[in-house]
């Protein structure tokens, strides 16, 4: 069948997560139901290029008010999902559920990670959630949680670990409790079960990128910060990242957007460590949200919306995010200009003879599945993104 193809039944107001491929050769997307905001939707296709093949395979009902943000992470046939559920900006809870692609069923219980609380501070949005899964099976959730007051009330970020069925460790605050908001939380898994936490601290004129490492022994290391990026008034940064081994060194590369209508996408990159040094480079200018990032085990690819024609473009780095090539148009349409316009947390996979990175895009209010072919006839290295990507890392990105 022809690509792109339409997907019905999943809302475009909240970024869906995936697509994912199961060991049985089926394909899955997860998102908020297009008519019921409290229903989590699982869609399945045996042939993702056929609109008629995509259909609801399972739902999870009973979320309290509305599904606001989703993050996903694939481990074999299990998709781990973190969900922010509630009403902004009054009361939002963070919840966890998983889905087994081998049986097409959700985990019996929806687990509450963090109880409902007011999570916005001076940054009236920019909240989000992210998760990774260690090789031990332990889920690490990273999210905007209860505010604290330092002269004024500010947004804060926390992590918790799933130590058993419906059992979560106490929340640990990751930001340093300064008089700044901490927003857009993203977690990325490194080697040996090390986890890197990334957040932003926006002010009226700039934004800083902060990183803290959580060791395999769950010791939170000293923060590393990259300051400042110029922040055009009223514009929110959005990030996703990938983690991969390059000749024995674990590399982390993220993509963030800073700026207004003619904004710039930048890469923030570092080598995994307790207190890594963060560096940046320009990916592309004249761009806007949404953004996606993938890694094929060697090269890094960033998707972005171009501001002139509203199409999706891809740009590649072959040197771990230090420099970037020329942007190539990969989707002609009318791509939505918010971070919800593109699916998150997807994984590169092989379909037929092609290694592709898949995505679902909001094209003028219609959700469509599409692929970009990385190469043909070679095995793919499974590489989950910064979970949200990014797999990587789900964010609201709604601050304007």
Place 379 in a pLDDT band, splitting at 50, 70 and 90.
low
pTM: 0.93
Is residue 47 within 8 Å of residue 7, measured between CB atoms?
no
Please name every residue paired with 188 in a beta bridge, in sequence order, or none if there are none.
Answer: 196
The percent of residues in the chain predicted with pLDDT above 70, rounded, is 87
User: Which pLDDT does position 387 carry in this prediction?
Assistant: 40
Bridge pairing between strands 394-395 and 17-21 = unpaired
Q: What is the pLDDT of residues 46-104, one digit of tens each?
A: 999 999 999 999 999 989 999 999 999 999 999 999 999 998 777 899 999 999 999 99
Q: What is the pLDDT of residues 208-258, one digit of tens each?
A: 889 999 999 999 999 999 876 665 544 455 567 999 999 999 999 998 876
- Higher pLDDT residue, 87 or 320? 320
User: Which pLDDT does position 230 carry in this prediction?
Assistant: 63
pLDDT at position 398 over 50:
no
* Alpha-carbon distance values, 144 to 78, 380, 382 (Å): 25, 34, 28
User: Which pLDDT does position 121 carry in this prediction?
Assistant: 66
User: Which pLDDT does position 177 carry in this prediction?
Assistant: 86
Token pair 């780095």: residue:
317
User: Which pLDDT does position 302 carry in this prediction?
Assistant: 94
Looking at residues 8-29, what average pLDDT do you find?
96
Would you say the C-alpha torsion 20, 22, 25, 29 has a positive or negative sign? negative
Looking at residues 172-186, what average pLDDT do you find?
90
Phi, psi of 341 (to 5 degrees): -75, -10
pLDDT at position 400 over 50:
no
Looking at residues 376-388, what average pLDDT do you find?
55
What's domain 5-395's architecture? 6 Propeller (2.120)
**Every domain of the chain and the residues it spans:** 5-395
């Amino acid at each position: 069948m022809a690509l792109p193809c339409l997907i019905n039944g999943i809302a475009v107001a909240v970024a869906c997560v995936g697509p994912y491929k199961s060991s049985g050769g089926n394909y899955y997307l997860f998102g908020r139901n297009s008519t019921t905001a409290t229903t989590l939707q699982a869609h399945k296709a045996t042939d993702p290029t056929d609109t008629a093949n995509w259909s609801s395979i399972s739902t999870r009902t009973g979320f309290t008010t509305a599904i606001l943000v989703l993050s996903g992470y694939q481990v074999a046939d299990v998709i781990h999902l973190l969900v922010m559920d509630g009403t902004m900006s009054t009361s939002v809870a963070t919840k966890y559920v998983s889905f087994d692609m081998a049986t097409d069923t959700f985990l019996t219980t929806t687990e509450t990670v963090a109880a409902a609380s007011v999570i916005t501070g001076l940054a009236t949005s920019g909240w989000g959630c992210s998760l990774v899964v260690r090789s031990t099976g332990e889920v690490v959730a990273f999210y905007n949680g209860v505010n604290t007051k330092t002269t004024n009330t500010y947004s804060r970020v926390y992590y918790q670990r799933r130590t058993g069925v419906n059992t979560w460790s106490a929340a640990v605050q990751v930001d340093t409790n300064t008089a700044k908001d901490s927003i857009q939380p993203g977690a990325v898994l490194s080697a040996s079960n090390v986890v890197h936490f990334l957040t932003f601290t926006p002010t009226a004129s700039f934004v800083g990128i902060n990183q803290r490492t959580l060791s395999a022994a769950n010791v939170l290391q000293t923060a590393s910060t990259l300051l400042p990026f110029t922040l055009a008034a009223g514009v929110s940064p959005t990030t996703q990242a990938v983690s991969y081994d390059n000749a024995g060194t674990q590399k982390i590369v993220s993509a963030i957007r800073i700026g207004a209508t003619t904004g710039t996408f930048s890469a923030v990159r570092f080598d995994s460590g307790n207190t890594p040094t963060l560096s940046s480079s320009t990916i592309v200018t004249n761009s806007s949200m949404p953004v996606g990032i993938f890694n094929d085990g060697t090269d890094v690819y960033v998707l972005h919306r171009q501001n002139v024609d509203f199409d999706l473009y891809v740009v590649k780095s072959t040197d771990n995010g230090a420099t970037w090539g020329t942007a190539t148009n990969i989707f002609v349409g009318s791509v939505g200009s918010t971070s919800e316009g593109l699916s998150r947390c997807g994984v590169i996979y092989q379909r037929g003879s092609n290694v592709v990175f898949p995505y679902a895009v909001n094209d003028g209010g219609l959700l469509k599945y599409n692929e970009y072919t990385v190469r043909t006839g070679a095995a793919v290295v499974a590489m989950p993104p910064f979970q949200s990507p990014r797999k990587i890392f789900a964010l609201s990105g709604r601050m304007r």
